[in-house]
């Protein structure tokens, strides 16, 4: 490679800096194309990044005016010589592009090309795109090819960075989606379940026992208000409203009393003084208790459900025991569409706690142990 003069160095360094500056991918690619054209002294330059549909996700050009570009028409497809360049990781340097066996012509308004260099932009074995230069007085040299290889390497870095960034963004959107699904499941669906049952009870009581019907409607109103509060907390990423007011044990006691009122089984609650948990841990205990209770209501057909919160040194132990039908926790955990058990496990894990589920013909006991921080 011949030595770069000062202005060439400046061009290369501008292109390299563009990759590290916080520009959009398109701006980086445009800088690289413009630098490539100026450095090699070519009339035209382009950089293409193929898409899955046989066209180009990005196609930036330099040396073509807006009007010319508009007159040329739609983006090129990945056929002919462009197709070769996108499947073969070697550069192509031609005195006259029309002599290449795969040359297939160009649209009517396209400028006439003679000399040509195509340089693949690669990442390991993957071809990410190509840099294309055309029409240099005197023709392209081996030194031009080397310079272009350098610029293509920087285009590759920009493209790989952009992909990583996009992947990271998709992941965090997915995580947020999962979080919201879990929160909606844990916080809202059981409230609505209780609400529906209470509304049905109110409807059947209406004629027979208006006073009890009125009290059931009071519960309906309370449940609806709670569901609204929960929804607000989920949307704004806040703690469950019950926990911000009362603290975990009182909130859980109230919840158990409500279930005792709404559902057929007898619900009992007992607690001892507890070591102080972080808010996120309190939330985990509360939500796990709610889901265990909800499962006992929906699946166990239990006649009694007992909830205990016990402080054992630095440990908080939650125990939710029903005397219902029981199930096989190992098997139920595999049922992929179900959220409840999976969410309990996930919450226990992220709170640094341990969850065990004992179940058999005598009923089910869900136990959670969470260590308070020193």
Ligand X SMILES: Nc1ncnc2c1ncn2[C@@H]1O[C@H](COP(=O)(O)OP(=O)(O)OP(=O)(O)O)[C@@H](O)[C@H]1O
- Phi then psi for residue 192, to 5 deg, are -65, -35
Q: Judged by CB, which is closer to ligand X: 159, or 227?
A: 227
Residues 89-108 that bind Mg ion (CB under 5 A): none
Between 157 and 184, name the residue whose CB sits nearer to ligand X.
Answer: 184
Minimum Å gap between C-beta 308 and ligand X is 16
Considering only 265, 332, 345, 346, the residue that binds ligand X (CB under 6 A) is 332
Residue 261 burial (10 A CB sphere; 0-12, 13-18, 19+): middle
**Closer residue to Mg ion, CB minimum distance, 115 or 340:** 340
> What 3 state SS string does the chain have?
CCCCCHHHHHHHHHHHHHHHCCCCHHHHHHHHHHHHHHHHCCCEEEEEEECCCCCEEEEEEECCCHHHHHHHCCCCCCCHHHHHHHHCCCCEEECCHHHCCCCCCCCCCCCCCCCEEEEEEEECCEEEEEEEEECCCCCCCHHHHHHHHHHHHHHHHHHHHHHHHHHHHHHHHHHHHHHHHHHHHHHHHHHHHHHHHHHHHHHHHHHHCHHHHHHHHHHHHHHHHHHHHHHHHHHCCCCCHHHHHHCHHHHHHHHHHHHHHHCCCEEEEEECCCCCCCHHHHHHHHHHHHHHHHHHHHHHCCCEEEEEEEEECCEEEEEEEECCCCCCHHHHCCCCCCCHHHHHHHHHHHCCCEEEEEEECCEEEEEEEEECCC
Distance, CA of 36 to CA of 108 (rounded, Å): 26
Q: Which of 339, 354, 369, 371 binds ligand X (CB under 6 A)?
A: 339
Span near ligand X by CB under 6 A; candidates 6-14, 159-167, 245-253, 326-334? 326-334
Is residue 283 involved in binding ligand X (CB under 6 A)?
Answer: no
CB of 231 to ligand X, least distance (A): 17
Identify which of 275, 269, 345, 283 has the alpha carbon closest to the alpha carbon of residue 314: 275
* Beta carbon of residue 85, minimum distance to Mg ion (angstroms, whole number): 56
Instruction: CB nearer to ligand X: give 183 or 322.
Output: 322
The answer to whether residue 324 forms part of the interface with ligand X (CB under 6 A) is yes
Q: Tell which one of 58, 327, 369, 371 touches ligand X (CB under 6 A).
A: 327
Residue from 295, 343, 359, 365 binding Mg ion (CB under 5 A)? 295
Q: Which is nearer to ligand X, 83 or 333 (CB)?
A: 333
CB nearer to ligand X: pick between 5 and 331: 331
Residue of 25, 300, 321, 351 interacting with ligand X (CB under 6 A): 300
Any idea which residue has 């009339």 for tokens? 43
Alpha-carbon distances of 138 from 91, 141, 144, rounded to whole Å? 19, 9, 12
Print the binding letters for residues 162-201 with ligand X: x by CB under 6 A, - otherwise: -----------------------x----------------
CB of 197 to Mg ion, least distance (A): 16
User: In the complex with ligand X, which residue's Cβ is closer, 92 or 321?
Assistant: 321
Binding residue for ligand X, selected from 64, 243, 296, 370, defined by CB under 6 A: 296
Minimum CB separation from ligand X for residue 335, in Å?
Answer: 6
Which of 98-106, 169-177, 256-264, 338-346 is the region at the interface with ligand X (rule: CB under 6 A)?
Answer: 338-346
Is position 324 an interface residue for Mg ion (rule: CB under 5 A)? no
Task: Single out the segment in contact with ligand X by CB under 6 A; choices: 24-32, 100-108, 258-266, 333-341.
Answer: 333-341
Binding segment toward ligand X, per CB under 6 A, in 81-89, 126-134, 156-164, 320-328: 320-328
Asked if 321 interacts with ligand X (CB under 6 A), we say: no
295 binds ligand X per the rule CB under 6 A: yes
Kindly report the CA angle at 346 between 344 and 350, in degrees rounded to 5?
120
Binding site for ligand X (CB under 6 A): 185, 295-296, 298-300, 322, 324-327, 332, 335, 338-341, 364
Binding site for Mg ion (CB under 5 A): 295, 340
């Amino acid at each position: 490679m011949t030595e770069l003069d000062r202005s060439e160095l400046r061009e290369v360094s501008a292109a390299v800096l563009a990759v590290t500056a916080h520009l959009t991918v398109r701006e980086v690619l445009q800088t690289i194309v413009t630098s490539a054209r100026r450095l090699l002294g070519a009339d035209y330059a382009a950089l293409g990044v193929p898409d899955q549909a046989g066209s180009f996700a990005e196609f930036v050009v330099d040396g073509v005016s807006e009007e010319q570009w508009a007159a040329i028409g739609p983006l090129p497809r990945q056929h002919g010589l462009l197709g070769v360049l996108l499947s073969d990781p070697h550069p192509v340097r031609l005195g006259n592009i029309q002599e290449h066996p795969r040359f297939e012509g160009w649209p009517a308004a396209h400028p006439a090309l003679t000399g040509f260099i195509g340089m693949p932009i690669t990442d390991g074995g993957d071809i990410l795109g190509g840099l294309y230069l055309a029409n240099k007085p005197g023709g392209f040299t081996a030194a031009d090819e080397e310079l272009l290889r350098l610029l293509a390497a920087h285009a590759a870095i920009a493209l790989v960075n952009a992909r990583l960034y996009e992947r990271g963004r998709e992941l965090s959107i997915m995580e947020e989606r999962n979080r919201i699904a879990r929160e909606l499941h844990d916080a809202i669906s059981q409230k609505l379940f209780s609400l529906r049952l209470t509304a049905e009870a109110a409807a059947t009581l209406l004629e027979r026992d208006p006073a009890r019907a009125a009290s059931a409607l009071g519960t309906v109103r309370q449940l609806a208000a709670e569901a609204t509060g929960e929804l607000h907390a989920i949307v704004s990423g806040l703690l469950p409203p019950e926990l911000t007011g009362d603290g975990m044990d009182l909130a859980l006691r109230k919840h158990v009393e409500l279930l005792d009122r709404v559902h057929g089984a007898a619900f009992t609650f007992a607690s001892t003084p507890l070591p102080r948990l972080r808010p996120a841990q309190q939330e985990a205990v509360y939500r796990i208790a709610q889901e265990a209770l909800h499962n006992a209501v929906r699946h166990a057909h239990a006649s009694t459900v007992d909830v205990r919160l016990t402080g054992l040194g630095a440990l908080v132990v939650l125990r939710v025991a029903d005397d219902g039908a029981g199930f096989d926790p190992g098997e139920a955990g595999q049922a992929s569409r179900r959220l409840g058990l999976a969410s309990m496990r996930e919450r226990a894990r992220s709170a640094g706690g341990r969850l065990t589920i004992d179940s058999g013909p005598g009923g089910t006991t869900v136990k959670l142990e969470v260590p308070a921080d020193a």
